[in-house]
Amino acid sequence: MQKNKAVSMSESTSAVGGAGAHNLGIGTSRGRVTNADRWLVRQLYALLDDPSLQLRLWNGEEFSASDDGELVARVIVRERKALYRLLGNPNLHFGDLYSAGAIDVEGDLAAALEIAYRAPLANSTIAQLHRRLPRVLRGERANSLRGSRHNIHHHYDIGNDFYRLWLDPEYMQYTCAYYPSQDMTLDQAQVAKLEHVCRKLQLQPGESVVEAGCGWGGLARYMARHYGVKVRSYNISHQQIVYASERAEAEGLAGQVEYVEDDYRNISGEYDVFVSIGMLEHVGRDNYQQMGGVVDRCLKDNGRGLIHSIGRNRPAPMNAWIEKRIFPGAYPPSLREMMDIFEPWGFSVLDVENLHLHYTRTLEHWLERYEHNAEHVQAMFDRHFVRAWRLYLAGSIAAFTTGALQLFQVLFSRPARNDLPWSRAHLYGE
């Protein structure tokens, strides 16, 4: 069905991924294209099964489905080694190859990744295909592609200055925002998220809140300022604790908010409310029951809580590249898995809201700001880093758009808290 032909793309769709291969020092011509190469690329292309994607090889040869229809993106494989390495483990190697510039994407990067997410059989089929290749072809796989070992800094070593470039400056929320109206700015939507969480928790002045994993401390400051509660927030990131404490001090909230540099498992004291926004992804599924035990230990008899986490429709491993290069140890649970936090301790789950569409929009806003500041990022780190984080943000958009990832907010309480609101209407008033 597909044939080799040239396709013109409008410049307007090439905003993302425009960092050219030349800039990364990777040549556009890496030897002639053999018939075996062409056969492999056709198999690959057929698996993706989407005419809006075009493939281009290192010699300029192009593979696309037809003349009709609009191209969303063009994937450019800049050397033969990249092609064969990709086939060995597409989930893992695409990220490294893209970061190194050995594979490039012109057009809409997130949309191209969505096509890959929607072809769930592709990864395993490609790996099978690769295993059946003649040894001589498999042997072409480079053991060490230039740049692929480049050590991408892990999230929390990177420093506050990097995140300040693309998160909302006021609350520095590195978690899903909430868009009660879809034309909100990121800053507005992050405030709306904080407000949404506070309303769900029905905070009363003078109550005590404990927070597990507080990032840069924005939620605690919001709760203290707008709801008159006392908050103690735990976090193991030294940089974030320093930042959060300084902000609270500067804003006159030091008497109400305490940031503790410690693991959530060491939470002490008893509180009216437990809250954790975007930490569960790092807890690990074997530890959910234990985490529930921490909640049970620190929650008063009238207690309630909220856990906000990336999740899944069903259990699945983390994308290999993200897990290896961006979030080591991260695991987004299914709802069934999350229930290990609540059920052994008899908590009542009162409300589960899936905000996956809000995370897509949040990520679009982050990516937009990130691209706007790509030169800053490159000056702070390097081109590989810029490309890796671009891929991570665009890939996350694709994951939320295609349903590979979800965002669950779970509100819970001690059983028989019969004084809580009967309906959720209070979340939606002025």
Q: List residues binding a copy of itself (CB under 8 A).
A: 178-180, 182, 313-315, 334-336, 339-340, 342-344, 346-354, 356-358, 360, 401-403, 406, 408, 415-416, 418, 420, 422-425, 427-428
In terms of CB distance, is 131 or 424 closer to a copy of itself? 424
Complex with a copy of itself: residue 240 or 396, whichever CB lies closer: 396
Q: How far apart are CA 285 and CA 146, in angstroms?
A: 35
The minimum distance between CB 24 and a copy of itself, in angstroms, equals 33
Minimal distance in Å, beta carbon 316 to a copy of itself? 10
Q: Quick one: how many helices (H) and strands (E) in the chain?
A: 16, 12
Q: Which is nearer to a copy of itself, 342 or 392 (CB)?
A: 342
* 8 A C-beta contact, residue 171 and residue 234: no
CA distances to 236, 238, 250 from 254, in Å: 19, 18, 8
State the sign of the Cα–Cα–Cα–Cα dihedral 66, 71, 73, 74.
positive
**Smallest distance from a copy of itself to CB 190, Å:** 15
DSSP 391-402: HHHHHHHHHHHH
Those residues whose C-beta lies under 8 Å from the C-beta of residue 419, and which sit 6 or more positions away, are none
* Eight-class DSSP state of 323: I
Task: Using the minimum distance from each CB to a copy of itself, give the nearer residue, 88 or 293.
Answer: 293
The token pair that represents 347 in the structure block? 């908590």
How far is Cα 210 from Cα 220, in angstroms, rounded to an integer? 9
8 A C-beta contact, residue 162 and residue 174: no
Q: Which is nearer to a copy of itself, 258 or 337 (CB)?
A: 337
Nearer to a copy of itself, 154 or 426 (CB): 426
Looking at the Cβ atoms of 366 and 408, the one nearer to a copy of itself is 408
| CA torsion, ordered 419, 422, 423, 426, to nearest 10 deg | -40
Tell how strand 299-311 and strand 348-354 pair up. unpaired
Q: How far apart are the first and last CA of the chain?
A: 56
**Beta-carbon-side half-sphere exposure of residue 305 (alpha carbons within 13 Å):** 29
CB of 292 to a copy of itself, least distance (A): 11
Q: Nearer to a copy of itself by C-beta: 179 or 321? A: 179
* Contact between residue 174 and residue 163 where contact means Cβ atoms under 8 Å apart: yes
